C-alpha cells in the first residue's frame, strides 16, 4: 500500500470508529449489501417429504397435548434462514396435527393465516363464530384479528399445513395477540355455511358492511376447486410455465383472498414439461395430486402427494408432471408485493 493509501485508509478506519459511538455508519461501505441489482435471497430450495415428516408430527402427538402446546405444530424452517421460524423471508409455514377429541383454544392475532388440509376430514375451524369442516385439499383462511379455534370430532388425526405472514408482521413490529377469555364479547354465532351462501353463490349483500381486505369466504373447498379445474381443463390452453393456474380470489373485490398472502391452485396435465419461470415472490408449493419434479438449476425436486417444497425469489425453475395429471397448491407474498408495485416475473429463462 502506498503511503497516501495507507494514511487515507488509517484515517477512514479511525473516522469510522469515531462515528460508530454516535450510531452513525458510512453508507459507501454498505451500499452494495443494501441495494442489490437483483434479488439474492438467503432462502434456499428445499423439499419436506410428507411420508417422512408425517411420522414426526404423529410422534409429537405422543409427547405433547394441544392443552399444553396450544397449537401442535412442527415449523418448516428454511435451512438458509435457520432458527428464524421462516420458510421464506416473509412467510412462516408449519405442519399442524389435531388428534381425535382434541381442541385448540380460541384466540386471535394480527397475523393472517391459511391452512391447507393434507389429511383427515373430521377437524373443524371456527372463524368469528362460523364453523367449517376441514377436508383434504380445503383452503381455510383466518383474517388478521379474527377469532379462531380448531377441534377434531372424528376418530382420525387431521394434519394441515399452516401458512402465516408472521415474519412480515414481525418486521413491521405490528404484532398483537390475545386469548379468548370468558369475559370476552363472543363473536356473533353464525350458521354453518353462511359465508358461502352469502358470498360464494354469485351474490353479495346489497349493503355490505364487511371488511373487504380478507375474503369473507373462509373455506375454499377442494371438491369445488377440483371440479372447477377439471371443467376449465377442457377449454383452456396450457400456460407454458404454469399449466392451468388460478388464484384464490376474494369474491367482493377480485383481489387475492388475503391482503398479504397470495394462494394459488394449478393443474399440470399428465406429461407436462413446463418452461423456465422465476418471480420475486419466494413460493411454497404443496403437491395435492399426482407426482412430478421441479427442476431448479442443477437440482431436481421430486414431489408426490402432500410433499411441501419451497422455491426462493428470482430462482429459475420449471415444473414437470409424470404420467397423471398433477395438482399443486401454492402460496407466497405476491399479494403484498403487487400492492407495493414490487412484483416482477420472467419466463423462458430470460
Residues that bind ligand 1HN (CB under 6 A): 71, 73, 94, 96, 104, 109, 111, 113, 148, 150, 162, 164, 166
Q: Which helix (H) or strand (E) holds 216?
A: none
Looking at beta carbons only, is 103 or 320 nearer to ligand 1HN? 103
Name the minimum Å distance from CB 92 to ligand 1HN.
Answer: 6
Looking at beta carbons only, is 94 or 137 nearer to ligand 1HN? 94
Instruction: In whole angstroms, give the CA distance from residue 327 to residue 163.
Output: 19
Instruction: In whole angstroms, give the CA distance from residue 347 to residue 279.
Output: 9
> What residue is closest to ligand 1HN based on CB?
71
Looking at beta carbons only, is 98 or 244 nearer to ligand 1HN? 98
Looking at beta carbons only, is 71 or 84 nearer to ligand 1HN? 71
- DSSP-assigned states of every residue in 27-45: HHHHHHHHS-SS---S---
Looking at beta carbons only, is 109 or 136 nearer to ligand 1HN? 109
Give the pairing of strands 292-296 and 158-164. Answer: unpaired
Other CB atoms within 10 Å distance of the CB of residue 15: 12
Name the minimum Å distance from CB 158 to ligand 1HN.
Answer: 12
Name the minimum Å distance from CB 150 to ligand 1HN.
Answer: 6
Cell of 204: 353479495
Name the minimum Å distance from CB 149 to ligand 1HN.
Answer: 8
Other CB atoms within 10 Å distance of the CB of residue 192: 13
Of 86, 143, 149, nearest to 114 by C-alpha is: 143
Cβ–Cβ < 8 Å for 274, 320: yes
Looking at beta carbons only, is 66 or 337 nearer to ligand 1HN? 66
Looking at beta carbons only, is 104 or 229 nearer to ligand 1HN? 104
Enumerate residues 6+ apart whose C-beta is below 8 A from 323.
Answer: 270, 271
Number of H helices, E strands in the chain: 8, 22
Name the minimum Å distance from CB 244 to ligand 1HN.
Answer: 30
Q: Which helix (H) or strand (E) holds 293?
A: strand 292-296
Name the minimum Å distance from CB 62 to ligand 1HN.
Answer: 20
* C-alpha 52 chain-centroid distance: 21
Name the minimum Å distance from CB 135 to ligand 1HN.
Answer: 17
Amino acid at each position: 500500500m502506498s503511503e497516501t493509501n495507507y494514511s487515507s485508509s488509517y484515517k477512514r478506519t479511525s473516522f469510522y470508529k469515531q462515528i460508530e459511538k454516535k450510531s452513525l455508519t458510512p453508507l459507501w461501505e454498505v451500499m452494495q449489501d443494501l441495494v442489490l441489482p437483483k434479488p439474492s435471497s438467503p432462502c434456499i430450495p428445499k423439499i419436506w417429504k410428507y411420508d417422512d415428516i408425517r411420522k414426526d408430527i404423529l410422534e409429537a402427538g405422543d409427547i405433547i397435548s394441544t392443552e399444553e402446546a396450544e397449537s401442535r405444530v412442527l415449523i418448516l424452517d428454511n435451512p438458509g434462514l435457520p432458527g428464524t421460524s421462516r420458510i421464506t423471508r416473509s412467510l412462516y409455514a408449519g405442519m399442524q396435527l389435531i388428534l381425535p377429541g382434541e381442541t385448540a383454544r380460541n384466540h386471535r392475532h394480527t397475523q393472517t393465516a391459511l391452512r391447507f388440509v393434507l389429511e383427515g376430514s373430521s377437524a373443524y375451524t371456527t372463524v368469528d363464530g362460523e364453523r367449517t369442516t376441514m377436508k383434504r385439499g380445503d383452503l381455510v383462511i383466518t383474517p388478521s384479528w379474527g377469532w379462531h379455534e380448531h377441534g377434531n370430532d372424528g376418530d382420525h388425526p387431521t394434519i394441515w399445513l399452516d401458512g402465516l405472514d408472521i415474519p412480515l408482521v414481525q418486521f413491521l413490529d405490528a404484532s398483537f395477540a390475545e386469548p379468548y377469555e370468558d369475559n370476552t364479547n363472543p363473536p356473533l354465532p353464525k350458521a354453518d355455511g353462511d359465508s358461502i351462501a352469502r358470498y360464494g353463490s354469485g351474490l353479495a349483500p346489497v349493503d355490505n358492511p364487511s371488511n373487504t381486505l380478507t375474503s369473507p369466504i373462509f373455506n375454499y373447498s377442494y371438491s369445488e376447486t377440483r371440479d372447477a379445474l377439471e371443467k376449465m381443463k377442457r377449454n383452456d390452453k396450457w400456460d407454458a410455465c404454469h399449466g392451468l393456474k388460478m388464484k384464490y380470489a376474494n369474491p367482493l373485490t377480485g383481489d387475492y383472498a388475503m391482503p398479504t398472502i397470495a394462494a394459488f391452485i394449478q393443474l399440470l396435465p399428465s406429461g407436462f414439461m413446463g418452461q423456465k419461470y422465476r418471480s420475486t415472490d419466494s413460493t411454497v408449493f404443496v403437491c395435492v395430486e399426482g407426482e412430478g419434479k421441479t427442476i431448479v438449476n442443477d437440482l431436481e425436486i421430486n414431489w408426490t402427494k402432500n410433499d411441501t417444497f419451497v422455491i426462493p425469489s428470482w430462482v429459475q425453475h420449471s415444473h414437470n408432471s409424470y404420467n397423471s395429471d398433477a395438482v399443486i397448491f401454492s402460496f407466497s407474498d405476491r399479494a403484498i408485493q403487487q400492492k407495493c408495485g414490487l412484483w416482477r416475473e420472467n419466463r423462458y429463462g430470460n
